[in-house]
Structure 1
């Protein structure tokens, strides 16, 4: 069975957690497309050309243990605005989405650009304050030297860059189900996402 779930949204809204849970529940493969851009961003921070880094990305680049840092996140957002970088990573993402057995992809342009024909599209969001608090606690727990105000400023800057870029801007697909996790527990958000996917899987089987 080929069944694609596209999950988009800004940083720290919960889309990664929801995507992994949905994939595990249905036995689908999962791809965090943000890691592709983080891996490119990490290579750029080390001096590589963005386009060349995207074209020569390896599994080893994806397995680095420093891809969740704030510096790499900002670098990822910058390289993601480069059309040639997005083009270099497009085929990989679409091939993953078309694999047999089902696939869940999360990112910022999955439902609008990468998989516009996905059977399910979710847009996961939350208020700036809630997202910043989540990201601050995550980074602090990992030993990062950050402040709440600094994290909030970084998130807003990244949102503006991701939504305003000319190449595949972050946007809500017209047929996406919007899931606002501001006042939801992780369990409630995952349950709602699974409910939406279950309905579409059943409809496809009819």
Structure 2
């Protein structure tokens, strides 16, 4: 199947085959699309954009491989992924608890490959991964995901305790390799490898001659 000119499609197979970034339908737009239902391959080219839940992916081309459960993005890649729950800054003023907005990572790279079976995204070529409090630059970066927990069956839909991101892939760990530069506030660190953990919100630098300044 081929389509050209303002192509837009929606994939509703959230519980079936194919790579899934969230438990909601995936929307895809592009200038052109080629798809083969037998092989399960779809290629979107020209201003390709995919969004599913809080995750967004943009590139010159996006390839979906259903059987392999893989997504490939090539050329001027920009992506947004939510982060798994971690430490939040302490509050000095008491506020009524409510649903927290997800922490988002904004990523740019030359290429991106997401493998659903591994829960991992591999990025190469001038990679920059940035969140609200930190930024990492590296030759290559691997983002490791965990699925958000499903809400308790006793939770009333629409209540603050309900989790709209249930089933979504969220970053739990980020590993940069090759000339890694990390910035947090006014501090900067360099090393050959940098690993970020969402659980404690910290980077560990290693390899080469780790330097903090």
TM-score range, shorter chain: under 0.3
Q: Structure 1 length normalisation: TM-score?
A: 0.25
Larger RCO of the pair (alpha carbons < 8 Å, separation 6+): 1
Larger Rg: 2
Give 1 or 2: higher strand fraction: 2
Give 1 or 2: higher helix fraction: 1
Q: Structure 2 length normalisation: TM-score?
A: 0.24
